[in-house]
A and B are shown apart, each in its own frame.
Chain A
Amino acid sequence: MTVMDQVANIAYSLIIPVAVLFGFIMLNAAYLSYMERKVLAHMQARMGPMMTGWHGILQPIADGVKLFFKEDIIPAKADKWLFSLAPVLLLIMSIAAFVAIPFGPPTDFYGILSNKVPLWLTNLNVGILYVLALASVGTYGVIMAGWASNNKYSLLGGFRSAAQMISYEIPMAFAIITVVLLAGSLNLAEIVNAQSEKWFIIVLPVGPVAFLLYLISGVAETNRAPFDLPEAETELVAGFFTEYTGMRFAMFFMAEYANMVVISLLVSILFLGGWMPVQILPNTWLGGMPPVSWINGLFRLMPPVLWLLGKVYFLLFFFIWLRATLPRLRYDQLMAFSWKFLLPLSLATLLTTAVMKQMGLL
Chain B
Amino acid sequence: MTPDTYVPEHFLPVAIFLLLGGAFAVGMLVVGWFVRPRRPYPEKLLTYESGITPFMDAHQKFSIRFYLIAMLFLIFDIEAVFLYPWAVAYGKIGLYGFVEMVIFIAILLVGYVYAWKKGALEWE
Q: Show the binding face of A for B, using Cβ within 8 Å.
A: 14, 17-18, 22, 68-78, 84, 87-88, 91-93, 95-96, 98-100, 121-125, 129-130, 147, 149-156, 159, 162-163, 166-167, 169-170, 173-174, 177, 180-181, 184-186, 237, 242-243, 246-248, 251, 331-332, 335-336, 339-340, 343, 347, 350-351, 354-355, 357-358
Chain B residues within CB distance 8 Å of chain A: 10-14, 16-18, 20-22, 24-26, 28-29, 32-33, 35-40, 42, 44-50, 54, 57-59, 62-63, 65-66, 69-70, 72-73, 76-77, 80, 83-84, 87-88, 90-91, 95, 98, 101-102, 105, 109, 112, 116, 121-124
Which applies to chain B's interface (DSSP): helix, strand, loop or mixed? helix
> B47 to A129, Cβ gap below 8 A?
no
B96 to chain A, nearest CB (A): 11
- Write 5 A-B pairs (CB below 8 A) sorted by A numbering: A88-B25, A99-B13, A151-B49, A169-B73, A332-B122
Contacts of B11 in A (CB 8 A): 122, 124
Chain A interface mostly? helix
Contacts of A248 in B (CB 8 A): 29
A74 to B11: give the CA distance in the assembly, Å: 36
Contact B69 A167, beta carbon cutoff 8 Å: yes
When A68-B35, A99-B14, A122-B10 are in contact, do A170 and B77 touch as well, CB less than 8 Å? Answer: yes
Residue of chain B at shortest CB distance from A170 = B76
What 10 A-B pairs have minimum CB-CB distances, sorted nearest first?
Answer: A173-B80, A92-B21, A95-B21, A76-B45, A332-B123, A180-B87, A121-B13, A166-B73, A88-B25, A122-B13
Contact of A96 among B18, B88, B101 (CB under 8 A): B18
